[in-house]
């Protein structure tokens, strides 16, 4: 019987395989959701480097948040990652939800990034 971590890794690998097929060389907006915080980074897989990153641990966000583990915090991370990506000249990305379902905090981050000007 497969455990939860194995199933999560399998979902994540399946998502990344689809991104590689349909990404057309665009940078990847990767999301990590922990129990207490939310992280997002724009990654260039061709070069293997992170172009832009944001999280609920950033000093500009941390002071105004009640907690880093709710949808409003995720939305603020989405806005911040969009601002930083646009400042770096990145407008088109591919959204990588990892092994997470597209609802709750992940969906809030994605919608805020779209409102901030990122296309995916």
- The predicted model gives 34-49 an average pLDDT of 95
**DSSP 3-state assignment of 53?**
strand
| Whole-number Å distance between alpha carbons of 51 and 73 | 22
What secondary structure letter does DSSP report for 44?
E
The model scores a pTM over 0.85: yes
pLDDT in tens, 47-90: 999 999 999 999 999 888 989 999 999 999 999 999 999 999 99
Structure tokens, 20: 């590689």
* Alpha-carbon gap, residue 52 to 55, rounded angstroms: 11
- pLDDT at 24 (0 to 100): 87
Q: Which domains does the chain have, with CATH numbers?
A: 4-115 (3.30.420.100)
Q: What is the C-alpha to C-alpha distance for residues 13 and 116, in angstroms, rounded to an integer? A: 28
What was the pLDDT predicted at 11?
A: 95
pLDDT score for 73: 96
């Amino acid at each position: 019987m497969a455990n939860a971590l194995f199933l999560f890794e399998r979902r994540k690998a399946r998502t990344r395989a689809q991104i590689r097929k349909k990404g057309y060389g665009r940078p990847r907006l990767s999301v990590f959701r922990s129990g207490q915080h939310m992280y997002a980074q724009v990654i260039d897989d061709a070069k293997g480097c992170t172009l832009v990153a944001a999280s609920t641990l950033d000093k500009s966000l941390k002071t105004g948040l009640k907690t880093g583990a709710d949808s409003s915090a995720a939305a603020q991370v989405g806005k911040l990652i969009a601002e930083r990506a646009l400042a770096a000249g990145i407008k088109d990305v591919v959204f990588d939800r990892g092994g997470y379902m597209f609802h709750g905090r992940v969906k809030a981050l994605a919608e805020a990034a779209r409102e901030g000007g990122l296309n995916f």
